[in-house]
Chains A and B, each alone.
Chain A
Protein backbone atom coordinates (compact mmCIF):
# COMPACT_ATOMS: atom_id res chain seq x y z
CA UNK A 1 0.00 0.00 0.00
CA UNK A 2 1.13 3.52 -0.76
CA UNK A 3 1.26 5.92 2.18
CA UNK A 4 -1.36 8.62 1.71
CA UNK A 5 -1.94 11.58 4.02
CA UNK A 6 -4.49 14.33 4.45
CA UNK A 7 -2.61 17.63 4.26
CA UNK A 8 -5.41 20.16 4.29
CA UNK A 9 -9.08 20.53 5.12
CA UNK A 10 -11.63 23.31 4.74
CA UNK A 11 -15.31 23.58 5.58
CA UNK A 12 -18.02 26.15 5.04
CA UNK A 13 -19.33 25.94 8.57
CA UNK A 14 -23.02 25.44 9.36
CA UNK A 15 -24.97 27.40 6.80
CA UNK A 16 -28.69 27.74 7.45
CA UNK A 17 -31.22 28.13 4.65
CA UNK A 18 -28.66 29.63 2.27
CA UNK A 19 -29.62 31.58 -0.85
CA UNK A 20 -26.38 30.81 -2.73
CA UNK A 21 -26.25 28.07 -5.32
CA UNK A 22 -24.48 24.84 -4.38
CA UNK A 23 -21.60 25.77 -6.70
CA UNK A 24 -21.30 29.25 -5.18
CA UNK A 25 -21.23 27.64 -1.73
CA UNK A 26 -18.46 25.22 -2.76
CA UNK A 27 -16.09 27.61 -4.51
CA UNK A 28 -14.52 29.35 -1.48
CA UNK A 29 -14.28 26.03 0.41
CA UNK A 30 -12.37 24.26 -2.37
CA UNK A 31 -10.17 27.34 -2.84
CA UNK A 32 -9.33 27.34 0.87
CA UNK A 33 -8.44 23.63 0.90
CA UNK A 34 -6.19 24.03 -2.17
CA UNK A 35 -4.50 27.16 -0.79
CA UNK A 36 -3.86 25.58 2.61
CA UNK A 37 -2.26 22.57 0.95
CA UNK A 38 0.39 24.77 -0.65
CA UNK A 39 0.03 22.67 -3.80
CA UNK A 40 -0.65 24.22 -7.19
CA UNK A 41 -4.12 23.42 -8.49
CA UNK A 42 -2.59 22.12 -11.72
CA UNK A 43 -0.77 19.44 -9.70
CA UNK A 44 -4.02 17.84 -8.51
CA UNK A 45 -4.15 14.54 -10.39
CA UNK A 46 -7.60 13.34 -9.40
CA UNK A 47 -10.78 14.95 -8.10
CA UNK A 48 -13.75 13.18 -6.53
CA UNK A 49 -16.97 14.75 -5.25
CA UNK A 50 -19.93 13.58 -3.21
CA UNK A 51 -23.45 14.98 -3.33
CA UNK A 52 -27.09 14.04 -3.94
CA UNK A 53 -29.18 15.89 -6.50
CA UNK A 54 -32.34 14.85 -4.64
CA UNK A 55 -31.53 17.31 -1.85
CA UNK A 56 -31.67 20.51 -3.87
CA UNK A 57 -34.08 19.03 -6.41
CA UNK A 58 -31.81 20.04 -9.26
CA UNK A 59 -31.05 17.27 -11.76
CA UNK A 60 -27.34 17.03 -12.58
CA UNK A 61 -26.44 19.56 -9.88
CA UNK A 62 -23.27 17.54 -9.34
CA UNK A 63 -22.07 18.49 -12.84
CA UNK A 64 -22.52 22.22 -12.17
CA UNK A 65 -20.56 21.75 -8.93
CA UNK A 66 -17.47 20.97 -11.03
CA UNK A 67 -17.37 24.64 -12.01
CA UNK A 68 -16.10 25.29 -8.47
CA UNK A 69 -13.07 23.07 -9.09
CA UNK A 70 -11.40 24.80 -11.99
CA UNK A 71 -12.01 22.08 -14.55
CA UNK A 72 -10.22 23.75 -17.45
CA UNK A 73 -7.87 22.53 -18.87
CA UNK A 74 -9.82 19.24 -18.49
CA UNK A 75 -9.27 17.27 -15.27
CA UNK A 76 -9.66 13.65 -14.23
CA UNK A 77 -12.66 13.46 -11.93
CA UNK A 78 -15.38 11.25 -10.52
CA UNK A 79 -18.53 11.60 -8.41
CA UNK A 80 -20.25 9.46 -5.78
CA UNK A 81 -23.87 9.82 -4.74
CA UNK A 82 -22.61 9.45 -1.19
CA UNK A 83 -21.21 11.45 1.67
CA UNK A 84 -17.88 13.05 0.80
CA UNK A 85 -16.12 10.48 3.01
CA UNK A 86 -16.72 7.98 0.20
CA UNK A 87 -15.32 10.50 -2.29
CA UNK A 88 -12.22 10.59 -0.08
CA UNK A 89 -12.16 6.77 -0.16
CA UNK A 90 -12.28 6.74 -3.96
CA UNK A 91 -9.51 9.37 -4.07
CA UNK A 92 -7.41 7.21 -1.72
CA UNK A 93 -7.94 4.18 -4.00
CA UNK A 94 -7.01 6.29 -7.02
CA UNK A 95 -3.77 7.36 -5.34
CA UNK A 96 -2.94 3.69 -4.78
CA UNK A 97 -2.63 3.32 -8.56
CA UNK A 98 0.68 5.14 -8.20
CA UNK A 99 0.58 7.41 -11.23
CA UNK A 100 -0.79 10.52 -9.51
CA UNK A 101 0.28 11.95 -6.14
CA UNK A 102 -2.34 14.56 -5.25
CA UNK A 103 -6.11 14.27 -5.02
CA UNK A 104 -8.98 16.58 -4.08
CA UNK A 105 -12.11 15.20 -2.41
CA UNK A 106 -15.06 17.44 -1.65
CA UNK A 107 -18.76 17.33 -0.99
CA UNK A 108 -21.73 19.61 -0.61
CA UNK A 109 -25.31 19.41 0.52
CA UNK A 110 -28.24 21.78 0.70
CA UNK A 111 -30.58 20.15 3.20
CA UNK A 112 -32.85 23.16 3.66
CA UNK A 113 -34.74 23.10 0.37
CA UNK A 114 -36.60 19.84 0.78
CA UNK A 115 -38.34 17.94 3.55
CA UNK A 116 -35.72 15.39 4.54
CA UNK A 117 -38.41 13.19 6.07
CA UNK A 118 -39.81 12.89 2.52
CA UNK A 119 -36.66 12.84 0.43
CA UNK A 120 -34.73 10.34 2.57
CA UNK A 121 -37.58 7.84 2.20
CA UNK A 122 -36.27 7.31 -1.32
CA UNK A 123 -33.15 5.63 0.04
CA UNK A 124 -35.31 2.73 1.25
CA UNK A 125 -36.06 -0.33 -0.83
CA UNK A 126 -38.78 0.58 -3.35
CA UNK A 127 -41.08 -2.40 -2.68
CA UNK A 128 -41.70 -2.69 1.05
CA UNK A 129 -40.51 0.41 2.90
CA UNK A 130 -40.79 3.17 0.31
CA UNK A 131 -44.59 2.82 -0.11
CA UNK A 132 -44.91 3.19 3.69
CA UNK A 133 -42.92 6.45 3.60
CA UNK A 134 -40.80 5.08 6.42
CA UNK A 135 -38.75 8.22 7.09
CA UNK A 136 -35.26 8.32 8.52
CA UNK A 137 -36.29 9.76 11.90
CA UNK A 138 -38.97 7.11 12.45
CA UNK A 139 -36.54 4.34 11.49
CA UNK A 140 -33.91 5.82 13.83
CA UNK A 141 -36.52 5.81 16.59
CA UNK A 142 -37.13 2.09 15.98
CA UNK A 143 -33.42 1.48 16.48
CA UNK A 144 -33.35 3.63 19.63
CA UNK A 145 -36.37 1.69 20.92
CA UNK A 146 -34.63 -1.61 20.20
CA UNK A 147 -31.66 -0.47 22.32
CA UNK A 148 -33.93 0.46 25.23
CA UNK A 149 -35.93 -2.76 24.98
CA UNK A 150 -32.70 -4.79 25.04
CA UNK A 151 -31.59 -2.98 28.18
CA UNK A 152 -28.56 -1.53 26.40
CA UNK A 153 -29.43 2.16 26.89
CA UNK A 154 -31.92 4.57 28.42
CA UNK A 155 -33.38 7.86 27.32
CA UNK A 156 -31.13 9.42 29.94
CA UNK A 157 -28.11 7.97 28.13
CA UNK A 158 -29.33 9.59 24.91
CA UNK A 159 -29.73 12.95 26.68
CA UNK A 160 -26.21 12.71 28.08
CA UNK A 161 -24.83 12.29 24.57
CA UNK A 162 -26.76 15.39 23.47
CA UNK A 163 -25.62 17.47 26.47
CA UNK A 164 -21.98 16.55 25.88
CA UNK A 165 -22.25 17.24 22.14
CA UNK A 166 -23.68 20.73 22.73
CA UNK A 167 -21.03 21.47 25.37
CA UNK A 168 -18.17 20.35 23.09
CA UNK A 169 -19.62 22.31 20.18
CA UNK A 170 -19.23 25.53 22.18
CA UNK A 171 -15.58 25.68 21.13
CA UNK A 172 -16.30 24.80 17.48
CA UNK A 173 -17.00 27.95 15.43
CA UNK A 174 -18.49 25.77 12.67
CA UNK A 175 -21.18 24.22 14.87
CA UNK A 176 -24.85 25.07 14.55
CA UNK A 177 -26.12 23.95 17.97
CA UNK A 178 -24.04 24.49 21.09
CA UNK A 179 -24.27 25.54 24.72
CA UNK A 180 -25.02 24.14 28.11
CA UNK A 181 -28.12 22.01 28.41
CA UNK A 182 -28.94 19.68 31.27
CA UNK A 183 -30.08 16.09 30.95
CA UNK A 184 -33.17 16.97 33.02
CA UNK A 185 -34.23 19.77 30.68
CA UNK A 186 -33.66 17.58 27.64
CA UNK A 187 -35.79 14.79 29.09
CA UNK A 188 -38.59 17.28 29.80
CA UNK A 189 -38.95 18.00 26.06
CA UNK A 190 -41.71 16.29 24.03
CA UNK A 191 -40.97 13.36 21.73
CA UNK A 192 -40.40 13.87 18.01
CA UNK A 193 -40.65 10.13 17.34
CA UNK A 194 -40.59 8.25 20.64
CA UNK A 195 -38.16 7.59 22.23
CA UNK A 196 -36.32 10.35 20.32
CA UNK A 197 -36.75 14.05 21.04
CA UNK A 198 -35.79 16.94 18.74
CA UNK A 199 -32.40 17.27 20.43
CA UNK A 200 -31.68 13.56 19.77
CA UNK A 201 -32.05 14.30 16.03
CA UNK A 202 -29.66 16.30 13.84
CA UNK A 203 -30.27 19.93 12.83
CA UNK A 204 -30.98 20.92 9.22
CA UNK A 205 -27.68 22.24 7.88
CA UNK A 206 -26.37 23.37 4.51
CA UNK A 207 -22.66 23.13 3.93
CA UNK A 208 -19.57 21.99 2.06
CA UNK A 209 -16.13 20.60 2.86
CA UNK A 210 -12.96 19.69 0.99
CA UNK A 211 -9.72 17.82 1.69
CA UNK A 212 -6.45 17.41 -0.16
CA UNK A 213 -4.79 13.98 -0.12
CA UNK A 214 -1.13 13.54 -0.95
CA UNK A 215 0.88 10.34 -1.41
CA UNK A 216 4.39 9.65 -0.15
CA UNK A 217 7.14 12.07 0.79
CA UNK A 218 5.43 14.99 -0.94
CA UNK A 219 2.99 15.06 1.99
CA UNK A 220 5.84 15.84 4.41
CA UNK A 221 7.24 18.45 2.05
CA UNK A 222 4.00 20.46 1.87
CA UNK A 223 2.66 19.85 5.37
CA UNK A 224 4.35 20.09 8.75
CA UNK A 225 2.01 17.59 10.37
CA UNK A 226 0.27 15.43 7.77
CA UNK A 227 -2.30 12.89 8.98
CA UNK A 228 -1.49 9.52 7.42
CA UNK A 229 -4.36 7.24 6.47
CA UNK A 230 -3.28 4.03 8.29
CA UNK A 231 -6.53 2.20 7.69
CA UNK A 232 -9.71 2.90 5.76
CA UNK A 233 -12.64 0.58 5.10
CA UNK A 234 -16.36 0.72 4.45
CA UNK A 235 -19.04 -1.92 4.97
CA UNK A 236 -22.76 -2.21 4.49
CA UNK A 237 -25.67 -3.89 6.27
CA UNK A 238 -28.45 -5.76 4.50
CA UNK A 239 -30.61 -3.15 2.76
CA UNK A 240 -33.84 -4.08 4.50
CA UNK A 241 -33.74 -2.97 8.17
CA UNK A 242 -36.12 -5.78 9.11
CA UNK A 243 -33.39 -8.32 8.39
CA UNK A 244 -30.99 -6.69 10.83
CA UNK A 245 -30.34 -6.84 14.55
CA UNK A 246 -30.81 -3.13 15.16
CA UNK A 247 -29.13 -3.33 18.58
CA UNK A 248 -25.75 -3.78 16.87
CA UNK A 249 -23.81 -1.77 14.30
CA UNK A 250 -22.28 -4.84 12.66
CA UNK A 251 -20.98 -3.17 9.53
CA UNK A 252 -19.36 -0.40 11.62
CA UNK A 253 -17.63 -3.10 13.70
CA UNK A 254 -16.35 -4.82 10.54
CA UNK A 255 -15.14 -1.56 9.00
CA UNK A 256 -13.39 -0.69 12.26
CA UNK A 257 -11.68 -4.08 12.40
CA UNK A 258 -10.56 -3.85 8.78
CA UNK A 259 -9.24 -0.33 9.36
CA UNK A 260 -7.26 -1.55 12.37
CA UNK A 261 -8.96 0.63 14.98
CA UNK A 262 -8.21 -1.76 17.86
CA UNK A 263 -4.51 -2.28 17.16
CA UNK A 264 -3.50 0.82 19.16
CA UNK A 265 -5.17 3.42 21.37
CA UNK A 266 -7.39 6.02 19.69
CA UNK A 267 -7.11 9.48 21.24
CA UNK A 268 -10.01 11.11 19.42
CA UNK A 269 -12.91 9.59 17.50
CA UNK A 270 -15.13 11.77 15.35
CA UNK A 271 -18.27 9.70 14.79
CA UNK A 272 -20.99 10.47 12.31
CA UNK A 273 -23.75 9.78 14.82
CA UNK A 274 -26.67 11.80 13.50
CA UNK A 275 -28.91 10.55 16.31
CA UNK A 276 -27.83 10.44 19.93
CA UNK A 277 -28.28 6.68 20.34
CA UNK A 278 -26.09 6.05 17.28
CA UNK A 279 -23.07 7.32 19.21
CA UNK A 280 -23.62 4.61 21.82
CA UNK A 281 -23.95 1.94 19.11
CA UNK A 282 -20.85 3.13 17.29
CA UNK A 283 -18.67 3.45 20.40
CA UNK A 284 -19.50 -0.15 21.25
CA UNK A 285 -19.02 -1.40 17.69
CA UNK A 286 -15.62 0.28 17.38
CA UNK A 287 -14.55 -0.83 20.85
CA UNK A 288 -13.88 2.73 22.05
CA UNK A 289 -13.20 3.06 25.76
CA UNK A 290 -13.03 5.89 28.26
CA UNK A 291 -9.56 6.87 27.02
CA UNK A 292 -11.02 7.96 23.66
CA UNK A 293 -12.48 11.44 23.39
CA UNK A 294 -15.61 11.23 21.23
CA UNK A 295 -16.73 14.11 19.00
CA UNK A 296 -14.86 17.10 20.46
CA UNK A 297 -16.34 19.07 17.54
CA UNK A 298 -19.85 18.35 18.77
CA UNK A 299 -20.34 15.86 15.95
CA UNK A 300 -23.30 15.53 13.64
CA UNK A 301 -25.78 16.37 16.41
CA UNK A 302 -24.31 19.88 16.45
CA UNK A 303 -24.12 20.33 12.67
CA UNK A 304 -25.29 17.98 9.96
CA UNK A 305 -24.89 19.09 6.36
CA UNK A 306 -26.16 16.05 4.47
CA UNK A 307 -23.49 14.42 2.27
CA UNK A 308 -20.79 16.43 4.09
CA UNK A 309 -21.06 15.38 7.73
CA UNK A 310 -18.89 12.27 7.30
CA UNK A 311 -16.16 14.10 5.40
CA UNK A 312 -16.15 16.75 8.15
CA UNK A 313 -15.65 13.99 10.75
CA UNK A 314 -12.51 12.86 8.91
CA UNK A 315 -11.46 16.51 8.51
CA UNK A 316 -11.89 17.09 12.24
CA UNK A 317 -9.87 13.93 12.98
CA UNK A 318 -7.18 15.38 10.67
CA UNK A 319 -7.25 18.70 12.55
CA UNK A 320 -6.70 16.89 15.84
CA UNK A 321 -3.38 15.63 14.47
CA UNK A 322 -2.46 18.62 12.31
CA UNK A 323 -3.36 21.42 14.74
CA UNK A 324 -3.71 19.80 18.16
CA UNK A 325 -0.71 17.48 18.07
CA UNK A 326 -2.61 14.23 18.65
CA UNK A 327 -1.03 11.06 17.34
CA UNK A 328 -3.86 8.67 16.48
CA UNK A 329 -7.46 9.60 15.65
CA UNK A 330 -10.32 8.23 13.63
CA UNK A 331 -13.06 9.66 11.48
CA UNK A 332 -16.27 7.76 10.82
CA UNK A 333 -18.98 8.33 8.23
CA UNK A 334 -22.40 6.74 7.88
CA UNK A 335 -25.07 6.61 5.25
CA UNK A 336 -28.57 5.21 4.94
CA UNK A 337 -31.18 4.49 7.61
CA UNK A 338 -30.11 3.10 11.01
CA UNK A 339 -26.35 3.24 10.28
CA UNK A 340 -26.78 1.09 7.21
CA UNK A 341 -23.39 1.88 5.71
CA UNK A 342 -20.27 2.78 7.65
CA UNK A 343 -16.82 4.02 6.75
CA UNK A 344 -13.93 4.16 9.19
CA UNK A 345 -10.70 6.05 8.55
CA UNK A 346 -7.80 5.73 11.00
CA UNK A 347 -5.30 8.59 10.93
CA UNK A 348 -1.83 8.85 12.49
CA UNK A 349 0.69 11.65 12.84
CA UNK A 350 4.40 11.18 12.30
CA UNK A 351 5.30 11.32 15.97
Chain B
Protein backbone atom coordinates (compact mmCIF):
# COMPACT_ATOMS: atom_id res chain seq x y z
CA UNK B 1 0.00 0.00 0.00
CA UNK B 2 1.30 3.47 -0.81
CA UNK B 3 1.83 5.98 1.94
CA UNK B 4 -1.45 7.89 2.08
CA UNK B 5 0.39 10.91 3.46
CA UNK B 6 2.12 11.47 0.12
CA UNK B 7 0.50 12.75 -3.02
CA UNK B 8 0.90 10.33 -5.88
CA UNK B 9 2.15 13.08 -8.12
CA UNK B 10 4.82 15.35 -6.62
CA UNK B 11 3.77 18.90 -7.27
CA UNK B 12 0.23 17.79 -8.05
CA UNK B 13 -2.83 18.65 -5.98
CA UNK B 14 -2.83 17.45 -2.38
CA UNK B 15 -5.14 14.48 -2.10
CA UNK B 16 -4.53 13.32 1.46
CA UNK B 17 -3.90 15.15 4.68
CA UNK B 18 -2.87 13.07 7.70
CA UNK B 19 -4.33 14.44 10.90
CA UNK B 20 -3.87 12.57 14.16
CA UNK B 21 -6.41 13.47 16.81
CA UNK B 22 -6.30 12.49 20.45
CA UNK B 23 -9.20 13.11 22.82
CA UNK B 24 -9.11 12.46 26.56
CA UNK B 25 -12.13 11.11 28.37
CA UNK B 26 -12.96 10.43 31.98
CA UNK B 27 -14.69 7.09 32.37
CA UNK B 28 -17.19 6.90 35.22
CA UNK B 29 -18.36 3.47 36.31
CA UNK B 30 -22.00 3.73 37.24
CA UNK B 31 -23.04 2.35 40.69
CA UNK B 32 -24.90 -0.63 39.22
CA UNK B 33 -21.85 -1.68 37.19
CA UNK B 34 -19.63 -1.11 40.21
CA UNK B 35 -21.67 -3.50 42.38
CA UNK B 36 -21.68 -6.05 39.55
CA UNK B 37 -17.88 -5.75 39.26
CA UNK B 38 -17.43 -6.27 43.00
CA UNK B 39 -19.46 -9.48 42.81
CA UNK B 40 -17.41 -10.68 39.82
CA UNK B 41 -14.20 -10.13 41.74
CA UNK B 42 -15.77 -12.36 44.36
CA UNK B 43 -16.48 -15.09 41.78
CA UNK B 44 -20.21 -14.38 41.58
CA UNK B 45 -22.40 -13.37 38.64
CA UNK B 46 -25.40 -11.26 39.60
CA UNK B 47 -28.41 -9.88 37.80
CA UNK B 48 -31.35 -7.58 38.43
CA UNK B 49 -34.83 -9.09 38.30
CA UNK B 50 -37.58 -6.77 37.08
CA UNK B 51 -40.30 -6.68 39.76
CA UNK B 52 -42.92 -6.30 37.02
CA UNK B 53 -42.08 -8.78 34.25
CA UNK B 54 -39.63 -10.86 36.35
CA UNK B 55 -37.03 -11.03 33.59
CA UNK B 56 -33.47 -11.25 34.92
CA UNK B 57 -30.81 -9.06 33.31
CA UNK B 58 -27.15 -10.07 33.74
CA UNK B 59 -25.15 -7.86 33.77
CA UNK B 60 -27.76 -5.69 35.48
CA UNK B 61 -28.71 -2.38 33.80
CA UNK B 62 -30.32 -0.64 36.75
CA UNK B 63 -33.66 -0.72 34.95
CA UNK B 64 -35.89 -2.99 32.91
CA UNK B 65 -35.80 -1.75 29.30
CA UNK B 66 -39.12 -3.45 28.55
CA UNK B 67 -41.13 -2.18 31.53
CA UNK B 68 -39.03 1.05 31.77
CA UNK B 69 -38.82 0.88 35.55
CA UNK B 70 -35.70 1.33 37.64
CA UNK B 71 -34.14 -1.61 39.46
CA UNK B 72 -31.78 -1.38 42.43
CA UNK B 73 -29.73 -3.61 44.75
CA UNK B 74 -32.97 -4.90 46.24
CA UNK B 75 -33.72 -6.53 42.88
CA UNK B 76 -30.37 -8.31 42.75
CA UNK B 77 -30.50 -12.07 42.18
CA UNK B 78 -27.72 -14.65 41.81
CA UNK B 79 -27.05 -16.04 38.34
CA UNK B 80 -25.22 -19.31 37.73
CA UNK B 81 -21.76 -19.51 36.15
CA UNK B 82 -23.11 -22.25 33.88
CA UNK B 83 -25.26 -21.98 30.77
CA UNK B 84 -25.60 -22.83 27.09
CA UNK B 85 -24.24 -21.53 23.79
CA UNK B 86 -26.93 -19.69 21.79
CA UNK B 87 -24.70 -18.45 18.96
CA UNK B 88 -21.01 -18.25 18.14
CA UNK B 89 -18.46 -16.91 15.68
CA UNK B 90 -15.05 -18.29 14.75
CA UNK B 91 -12.54 -15.45 14.38
CA UNK B 92 -9.38 -15.58 12.30
CA UNK B 93 -7.01 -12.96 13.73
CA UNK B 94 -5.31 -10.63 11.26
CA UNK B 95 -1.81 -9.78 12.38
CA UNK B 96 -1.91 -6.00 12.88
CA UNK B 97 0.20 -4.14 15.44
CA UNK B 98 -1.03 -4.92 18.92
CA UNK B 99 -2.86 -8.10 17.92
CA UNK B 100 -2.33 -10.68 20.63
CA UNK B 101 -4.28 -13.52 19.04
CA UNK B 102 -2.35 -15.93 16.82
CA UNK B 103 -4.83 -18.74 16.08
CA UNK B 104 -8.48 -19.09 15.15
CA UNK B 105 -10.74 -18.90 18.20
CA UNK B 106 -14.46 -18.78 18.99
CA UNK B 107 -16.58 -16.18 20.76
CA UNK B 108 -20.08 -17.14 21.83
CA UNK B 109 -23.25 -15.71 23.29
CA UNK B 110 -24.11 -17.64 26.43
CA UNK B 111 -27.47 -17.90 28.12
CA UNK B 112 -26.67 -18.30 31.81
CA UNK B 113 -28.90 -20.36 34.07
CA UNK B 114 -31.04 -17.92 35.99
CA UNK B 115 -30.78 -15.11 33.41
CA UNK B 116 -33.18 -14.21 30.58
CA UNK B 117 -30.68 -12.63 28.20
CA UNK B 118 -27.34 -13.75 26.83
CA UNK B 119 -23.87 -12.50 27.69
CA UNK B 120 -22.02 -11.79 24.46
CA UNK B 121 -18.45 -12.25 23.20
CA UNK B 122 -17.49 -15.04 25.58
CA UNK B 123 -14.48 -17.18 24.69
CA UNK B 124 -15.01 -20.91 24.27
CA UNK B 125 -12.24 -23.14 25.66
CA UNK B 126 -11.37 -26.82 25.58
CA UNK B 127 -13.43 -27.67 22.49
CA UNK B 128 -12.38 -28.06 18.81
CA UNK B 129 -13.85 -25.22 16.75
CA UNK B 130 -15.75 -27.61 14.49
CA UNK B 131 -17.51 -29.22 17.44
CA UNK B 132 -19.17 -26.06 18.75
CA UNK B 133 -22.98 -26.18 18.46
CA UNK B 134 -26.13 -24.48 19.62
CA UNK B 135 -27.29 -25.68 23.02
CA UNK B 136 -23.79 -26.74 24.10
CA UNK B 137 -23.71 -26.72 27.91
CA UNK B 138 -20.75 -24.78 29.32
CA UNK B 139 -19.28 -23.67 32.66
CA UNK B 140 -17.16 -20.64 33.48
CA UNK B 141 -13.39 -20.91 33.81
CA UNK B 142 -12.73 -18.07 36.24
CA UNK B 143 -9.61 -15.95 36.04
CA UNK B 144 -7.44 -15.95 39.17
CA UNK B 145 -9.08 -13.66 41.79
CA UNK B 146 -6.48 -10.90 41.38
CA UNK B 147 -7.09 -10.71 37.62
CA UNK B 148 -10.87 -10.24 37.63
CA UNK B 149 -11.40 -6.75 36.29
CA UNK B 150 -14.94 -5.74 35.40
CA UNK B 151 -15.69 -3.69 32.30
CA UNK B 152 -15.67 -0.08 33.46
CA UNK B 153 -18.97 0.68 31.70
CA UNK B 154 -20.72 -2.46 32.92
CA UNK B 155 -20.76 -4.38 29.63
CA UNK B 156 -20.06 -8.14 29.66
CA UNK B 157 -17.88 -9.85 32.24
CA UNK B 158 -14.63 -7.95 31.76
CA UNK B 159 -11.61 -10.16 32.45
CA UNK B 160 -13.30 -12.03 35.32
CA UNK B 161 -13.88 -15.13 33.22
CA UNK B 162 -11.11 -16.55 31.00
CA UNK B 163 -13.67 -18.48 29.01
CA UNK B 164 -16.19 -21.27 29.03
CA UNK B 165 -15.57 -25.05 28.85
CA UNK B 166 -18.05 -27.79 27.89
CA UNK B 167 -19.55 -29.57 30.92
CA UNK B 168 -20.20 -32.83 29.06
CA UNK B 169 -23.92 -32.68 29.82
CA UNK B 170 -26.38 -33.44 26.98
CA UNK B 171 -27.07 -30.41 24.72
CA UNK B 172 -30.09 -28.28 25.53
CA UNK B 173 -33.10 -28.80 23.25
CA UNK B 174 -33.75 -26.15 20.58
CA UNK B 175 -36.78 -24.84 22.47
CA UNK B 176 -34.44 -23.66 25.25
CA UNK B 177 -32.34 -21.37 23.03
CA UNK B 178 -34.53 -20.63 20.01
CA UNK B 179 -35.46 -17.15 21.30
CA UNK B 180 -31.83 -16.26 21.97
CA UNK B 181 -30.02 -17.04 18.70
CA UNK B 182 -28.79 -13.81 17.18
Contact A20 B68 (CB under 8 A): no
Given known pairs A114-B24, A118-B23, A131-B19, the reply for A23 and B68 (CB within 8 Å) is no
Which residue of chain A has its CB nearest to the CB of B154?
A: A21
Which residue of chain A has its CB nearest to the CB of B155?
A: A64
Contact B19 A72 (CB under 8 A): no
- Which B residues touch A20, using CB under 8 A? 30-31, 62
- Which B residues touch A69, using CB under 8 A? 68
- A28–B66 Cα distance when bound, in Å, is 14
Contact B65 A57 (CB under 8 A): no
A-B contacts, CB under 8 A, total: 68
Which residue of chain B has its CB nearest to the CB of A55?
A: B25
Q: Which of A122-130, A267-275, A277-285, A332-340 contacts B (4 or more CB under 8 A)?
A: A122-130
A154 within 8 A of B: no
A174 CB → nearest B CB, Å: 20
Pick from B24, B29, B65: contact of A70, CB below 8 A: B65
Contact A58 B24 (CB under 8 A): no
Contact A71 B65 (CB under 8 A): yes
Given known pairs A41-B68, A114-B26, the reply for A68 and B63 (CB within 8 Å) is yes
B28 within 8 A of A: yes
A302 within 8 A of B: no
Contact A114 B25 (CB under 8 A): yes
A18 within 8 A of B: yes
- B1-36: CB near A (< 8 Å → 1, else 0) gives 000000000000000010101011111111111000
B82 CB → nearest A CB, Å: 27
Q: Count contacts on A: residues with CB < 8 A to the other chain.
A: 33
- List B residues 88-126 near A (Cβ within 8 Å): none
- Which A residues touch B178, using CB under 8 A? none
Which residue of chain B has its CB nearest to the CB of A19?
A: B28
Contact B26 A67 (CB under 8 A): no
A244 within 8 A of B: no
Most buried by A among B21, B33, B68: B68
Pick from A19, A23, A115: contact of B29, CB below 8 A: A19
Q: Count contacts on B: residues with CB < 8 A to the other chain.
A: 25
Pick from B17, B19, B30, B68: contact of A31, CB below 8 A: B68
- Which A residues touch B25, using CB under 8 A? 56-57, 113-114
- Which A residues touch B62, using CB under 8 A? 20-21, 24
Contact B63 A113 (CB under 8 A): no
Contact A68 B23 (CB under 8 A): no
Pick from B21, B23, B28, B61: contact of A23, CB below 8 A: B61
A47 CB → nearest B CB, Å: 12
Given known pairs A41-B68, A69-B68, A70-B68, the reply for A24 and B63 (CB within 8 Å) is yes
Which residue of chain B has its CB nearest to the CB of A18?
A: B28
Contact B153 A21 (CB under 8 A): yes
- Which A residues touch B42, using CB under 8 A? none
B38 within 8 A of A: no
Q: Which 5 A-B pairs have the closest CB atoms?
A: A57-B25, A67-B65, A70-B68, A113-B26, A21-B30
Q: B: which residues have CB within 8 A of A? A: 17, 19, 21, 23-33, 61-63, 65-70, 153-154
- Known contacts A20-B62, A31-B68; 20 additional CB pairs below 8 A are A18-B28, A20-B30, A23-B63, A24-B32, A24-B63, A27-B68, A30-B68, A41-B68, A54-B23, A58-B153, A67-B63, A70-B65, A113-B28, A114-B24, A114-B26, A118-B23, A118-B24, A119-B23, A122-B21, A130-B19
Q: A: which residues have CB within 8 A of B? A: 17-21, 23-24, 27-28, 30-31, 41, 54, 56-58, 67-72, 112-115, 118-119, 122, 126-127, 130-131
